[in-house]
Structure 1
Amino acid sequence: MSDLLRIEDLSVTYRTEEGPLPAVRDVTLAVDRGEVVGVAGESGCGKSTLASTILRLQPASATVTGRVLVDGEDVVTMRWGDLRALRWAGASIVFQGALHSLNAVRRVGQQIAEPIQLHEPGVGDAEVERRVGDLLEQVGLPAARAKAYPHQLSGGQRQRVMIAMALACRPDLVVADEPTTALDVMVQAQVLDVLSALVRELGVGMLLISHDLSVLAETSDRIAVMYGGRVVEQGPAAQLFTDPVHPYTAALGASFPRVGDPAARYAPAGLAGDPPDPRYLPPGCSFHPRCPIGTDECTAAEPVLETKRPGRDAACIRVEVS
């Protein structure tokens, strides 16, 4: 069976006043039906650009090369009419910050109904209303909340409305771009449980983007870690979280405090510095300036993403194949 989503050698470069900004560089990954693939990394590593490019939502200043295949059709070269039909019905996206994505002066039920009415014009009003109620209940909200305005809902409830909107036209693929960033820990767990349950029940494929590696380890089947616009490690979620291969992945995992551990409280782990500006990437490995095991050899050439262990790929010359 072919992958539901297959990204091949994708690069996205923005035109800026300071010069070209390569936000995504040669990314290849895949998502199958019924699978959650997580994408992790700090802010500025290219995650959101990757998410927007899957549905060709990037601005006009972006130059895109490579392929983004959704059910075998290349989104990058797709005609506008076909692209419009794909959005919502074939693939949909859940953005971070639902309050900014929802229309403040329309009831949430009307906003969930809109994609159904646009993509399925033959569906009657009564059927649309029934489906809106079913979608709200599917994400853990009473159908009566369809009459609420966004400001009358909590942050977690608004995010559930966004998920209901994304599922309105029964897409095969859902892209969730940091859907829990603005939520507290308890509500975040609830929303993630909803997303995971929907993937299992509906058999959709999901690309889940987050800066929080522990969130992805809990909800994803596989994880790809991005740094400097590239994938630097990918593999099964549980293995990648508990036994990272790339030093950047290890630093991400170590940055979370361990409850009850005095050493973690008084000397919290972390990673000094910030991700590089994509316009001024350092020579060789882009992680080298922050890497705890880097050597001068790391500046000679950018490392290739290659298999280091069975099912585990990493881009690091300091990691031996085993």
Structure 2
Amino acid sequence: MTTPAPELLSLRDLHVAYRTSEGRLPAVRGVDLVVHEGEVVGVAGESGCGKSTLASTVLRLQPKNARVEGEVEVLGHDVRAMRWGDLRALRWAGASIVFQGALHSLNPVHRIGRQVAEPIRTHEPGLSRDAVDRRVEELLDQVGLSASRARAYPHQLSGGQRQRVMIAMALACRPQLVVADEPTTALDVMVQAQILDLLKDLVHELGVGLLIISHDLSVLADVCDRVLVMYAGRVVESGPAAEVFADPLHPYTAALSGAFPRIGDPAARYAPAGLAGDPPDPRDLPPGCAFAPRCPRAVEECTHGEPPLLQVGGRPVACLRAGSS
């Protein structure tokens, strides 16, 4: 019998809401998520569905007006209960985050090498300068950049190169878990493919766990082992990435999948699918299923109560019509 890989991240019944001047804003509603060692797990959904809020909660990076309920465990530690010093030690060394928009995340007045070296010096203060420099060179080589790039400033690098620097920084202290929040946003398709291949290779080579956030379901299908699809703060479908993309059971997942044309598929080329309307206001969710007002398959029963996650075709799906034509 195969021993299951250790759990690096565990979210149980996670709820996150923001206190605003217009009232309480629920961003994440009852999400369960697990990432094992050597596994890539993706979270997909439109803007506003709660993906980035979920990512920030992993290392307690949410703003002060956020109220968090549920369990958040990273490497077996209860993140919500950790003291500041322990949490600071866990960040970078135990788990790290690759933020979207590398140009805005990197310091424009510091050279790349200094920025990659900063977390190493912080978490391994006993290392000599030469040892830190060698580690920086190793990290840049690991992400496909030459050592000479360490002397460059962020504005002297391309978008793809800056994103590689962000990944190098995330790996600087050899974390066991990496969270990538929209790591390929604003990159062209060729560079996007290179970054995704790099992430996949690093997961396999280093044995880390990766949680990747994206609005692009096709991206996640290519790189992930499992995918969770979120809508209005809830998971509405999850399962093996290839199955979720190729055979979606929830109408929202089908809309996300259909939004990206498949190469060699004339039907997708000449009649790309779309989804009318916008996600609901979290402060004023519709009765019943939050997706019902936009769903082409909705019936009266869909407005009577929010559907629970039930097993349909071996996958958890929150839809009363799942599996029906």
Residue 256 (str. 1) matches residue 290 (str. 2): no
TM-score, normalization by structure 2: 0.96
Residue 201 (str. 1) matches residue 205 (str. 2): yes
Q: Which of residues 8, 28, 32 is equivalent to 2:32? A: 28
Matched residue SS, 1:87: helix
Matched residue SS, 1:279: coil
Structure 1 range deviating more: 153-162 or 239-248? 239-248
Q: Which of residues 299, 314, 318 is equivalent to 2:317? A: 314
TM-score, normalization by structure 1: 0.97
Residue 14 (str. 1) matches residue 18 (str. 2): yes
* Residue-by-residue CA offset, 1:178-237 (whole Å, 9 max, x unaligned): 000110000000011111100000000000000000000000000000000011000001
Alignment of 1:1-322 (within 5 A): 1-259=5-263, 261=265, 263-310=267-314, 312-320=315-323
Matched residue SS, 2:60: coil
CA distance in 2, matches of 1:263, 1:31: 36
Cα 1:272–1:132, aligned 2, differ >3 Å: closer, same or farther?
same
Task: Tell me how far 1:320 sits from its aligned partner.
Answer: 4.8
Matched residue SS, 1:76: helix
RMSD over aligned CA atoms reads: 1.2
Matched residue SS, 1:231: strand
Structure 1 range deviating more: 172-181 or 72-81? 72-81
Task: Tell me how far 1:266 sits from its aligned partner.
Answer: 4.2
CA distance in 1, matches of 2:272, 2:93: 45
Task: Tell me how far 1:251 sits from its aligned partner.
Answer: 0.8
User: Unpaired segments of 5 or more residues in structure 2?
Assistant: none
CA distance in 1, matches of 2:30, 2:6: 21
Structure 1 range deviating more: 223-232 or 72-81? 72-81
CA distance in 2, matches of 1:315, 1:261: 29
Task: Tell me how far 1:262 sits from its aligned partner.
Answer: 5.1
Tell me if structure 2 keeps the 8 A contact 1:96–1:182: no
The one-letter code sitting in structure 2 at the alignment partner of 1:38 is G
* Residue-by-residue CA offset, 1:261-303 (whole Å, 9 max, x unaligned): 5544443211101111111111111000011111110111111
CA distance in 2, matches of 1:262, 1:319: 27
CA distance in 2, matches of 1:152, 1:99: 11
Aligned residues: 320
CA distance in 2, matches of 1:206, 1:85: 19
Matched residue SS, 1:171: coil
The one-letter code sitting in structure 2 at the alignment partner of 1:270 is G
The one-letter code sitting in structure 2 at the alignment partner of 1:27 is V
The alignment-based identity, stated in percent, is: 72
* Residue-by-residue CA offset, 1:142-179 (whole Å, 9 max, x unaligned): 01100100000000000000000000000000000000
The one-letter code sitting in structure 1 at the alignment partner of 2:81 is T
Cα 1:238–1:299, aligned 2, differ >3 Å: closer, same or farther?
same
